[in-house]
Amino acid sequence: MSVEVRVPTILRTLTGGEKVVTANGDTLAAVVSDLDVSYPGMGARLLDDSGLRRFVNIYVNDEDVRFLAGLQTQIADHDSITILPAVAGG
């Protein structure tokens, strides 16, 4: 499945400044792996040993994947994926 992924400012150093990139995969995990092949280092910015990083939000269409199936969320052609760092602090 080919999908558009919106990349936040802080990760555009990895995409050569591109705001929207294309990736492939049937699940979010596969899309993230594909992104990491095209844009090395992307995987580590999104995932840690326990899965999706706590302060990274990924949305499939309008839904936070934490309310879907997380990294196992199924991706269909023409879905749109948005990555946003949490705005948070202490």
Partner 1 sequence: MLTIRADLLAAMVSHARADHPDEACGVIAGPSGSDRPERHIPMLNAARSPTFYEFDSGDLLALYRELDERDEVPVVIYHSHTATEAYPSRTDVALAGEPEAHYVLISTRETGPAEGPFEFRSFRIADGVVTEEPVVVEGDPTH
Positions in the binding site for partner 1 (CB under 8 A): 8-10, 55, 57, 59, 62, 64, 66, 82, 84-90
| Alpha-carbon span 24 to 30, nearest angstrom | 7
- For 65, the token pair is 């994947």
| Alpha-carbon span 2 to 56, nearest angstrom | 22
CB-nearer residue toward partner 1: 30 or 84: 84
CB of 60 to partner 1, least distance (A): 11
Give Cα 23 to chain centroid, integer Å.
10
CB of 28 to partner 1, least distance (A): 15
CB-nearer residue toward partner 1: 37 or 69: 69
